[in-house]
Amino acid sequence: MRGYLVLENGRVFGGKLLNDCRMASGEVVFSTAMISYQDIITDPSYYGQIVVMTYPLVGNVGFNEKSFASQMAAVKGLVLREATDFPSHYEMEFDLITFLNKSEIAVLTEVDTRALTKVIRNEGAMGGIITDCLDKKNWLVKKAQMAAEELKGDVVRYVTRRNIMKFGQGGKKVVMMDLGTKRGVIDSLVRRGCEVLAVPATTTAEEILYLKPDGVLISDGPGDPQAIPYAVETCRSLLAEKPVFGIGLGHQVIALALGARINRLEFGHRGTNHPVRHFDNRRVYITTQNHGFSIDEASLESSKVRITMRSLNDNSIEGIRHRELPVFSVQFDPEGYPGYSETGFFLDDFVNMLQ
């Protein structure tokens, strides 16, 4: 069936609707990941977004549940150049289209994703809508604009957990503020001998301290950190009380709690191949990222915070550490899976801080 992606600037990209979902709206962003499409589709940080995959062929290894970042799909739609017809992998449980149909995620294929990515790079991430009909284009453009506006508010409330949940057993207790975490973060802490208590994003500092944690982790998640002042206030109250580690959105929340400002990036950092330089050991790490905001360096108080890492693509801040308190954060995903990431040592640093 013929399908289209209509952008809020009026541009239209034609293609083919590959499943039964005929309409989806969201913020249109692109990911440069060559693999990990399962992780992207189920990552809560992509909530409300239509993701353009720049790699031309997607779906080669099918799907298996152990590769999910969370229990369900988070994206609103996918835009691909080509979806493979013959996936093959010894661990495959079902194919890409079966999962997308079950999850009611629209997927548009046979799109010139190279041209579309250039538009986003030149004009920035913007609202869009996948549709099977262009009869009411003006209405579609307005719908695309509305989709982008909706994501400027608090979207963490849609992906955070509703109750406190316990994972693992160990001698060190970590309370994780769930802003939209991937399960890999929890698994990584459990493997390091921690008991993890995952709490809703709206949990107060008093409620967290009542759980008597050895440390607090503020997770990754979607959207603008300035739209979740309750999480920033909780973080600010915890900084002098416990060791605190932030990832992704949590990194930006810590920066706000320390008095910094946040800037919106034109088209964000999304992919599994972002180079980051670590100033302490002078090494470059290839990282997995998904965010549309960064710390305003001019707003950081250098007497309190030092910058530990920078992006080699645009020189934006990728890591900070408090000069006096046991508080630090990184902008990327540090899960320490073999073959997935070589930055798992940041989780080791956090665990070693815990008393």
Q: What is the pLDDT of residues 198-252, one digit of tens each?
A: 999 999 999 999 999 999 999 999 999 999 999 999 999 999 999 999 999 999 9
**Residue tagged 């890999």 (tokens):** 184
Are 95 and 207 part of one and the same domain?
no
The first and second tokens of residue 53, run together, are 């995959």
Tokens of 27: 């913020």
- If asked whether residues 202 and 124 sit together in one domain, one would say no
Instruction: Tell me the average pLDDT across 133-149.
Output: 91
Same domain? For 188 and 337 the reply is yes
Residues 185 and 144 in one domain: no
Per-residue model confidence (pLDDT) at position 335: 72
Distance separating alpha carbons of residues 288 and 43, to the nearest angstrom? 12
| Residue 336 predicted with pLDDT over 80 | no
pLDDT at 338 over 60: no
**CA geometry: angle 11, 27, 199, nearest 5 deg:** 175
Do 109 and 249 lie in a common domain?
A: no
pLDDT digits (tens, 9 = 90+) for 258-285: 999 999 999 999 998 899 999 999 999 9
Domain-ending residue, one of 126, 150, 174: 150
Q: Give yes or no: residues 58 and 142 share one domain.
A: yes
- Of 97-101, 193-197, 257-261, 269-273, the one with minimum mean pLDDT is 97-101
Token pair 């913007």 is found at: 126
Structural domain that includes position 194 = 156-353
On whether both 329 and 279 belong to a single domain, the answer is: yes
Q: What is the mean pLDDT of residues 49-75?
A: 85
Secondary structure (DSSP) of 145-205: HHHHHHTTS--HHHHS-SS-EEE---SEEEEEEESS--HHHHHHHHHTTEEEEEEETT--H
- Of 150, 172, 198, which residue sits at a domain end? 150
Environment class of residue 338 by beta-carbon count within 10 Å: exposed (0-12), middle (13-18) or buried (19+)? exposed
Tokens encoding 36: 């990990």
Q: How far is CA 61 from CA 8, 58, 92, 142, 187, in A?
A: 33, 9, 7, 37, 23
Last residue of a domain, one of 132, 150, 168: 150
- pLDDT at residue 184 above 60? yes
Q: Quick one: DSSP state of residue 326?
A: S
Instruction: Confirm if 147 and 155 have CB atoms less than 8 A apart.
Output: no
CATH number at residue 129: 3.50.30.20
> Is residue 208 classed as helix, strand or coil in its secondary structure?
helix
Clarify whether residues 113 and 161 are in a common domain: no
Q: Are residues 50 and 76 in the same domain?
A: yes
pLDDT of res. 236:
97
List, for residues 143-173, the tens digit of each pLDDT value: 999 988 888 889 999 999 999 999 988 889 9
What does the block give as tokens for 327? 């508080």
Q: Are 226 and 320 in a shared domain?
A: yes
pLDDT at 339: 46
Specify the CATH number for the domain of residue 253: 3.40.50.880
Within this chain, do residues 187 and 298 fall inside the same structural domain, yes or no?
A: yes
pLDDT-wise least confident of 12-21, 87-96, 235-244, 335-344: 335-344
Q: Are residues 120 and 172 in the same domain?
A: no
* pLDDT tens track for 108-122: 999 999 999 999 999
Mean pLDDT, all residues of the chain: 91
By the 8 A CB rule, do 348 and 192 touch? yes
SS (H, E, C) 67-101: HCCCCCCCCCEEECCEECCCCCCCCCCECHHHHHH
Domain total of the chain: 2
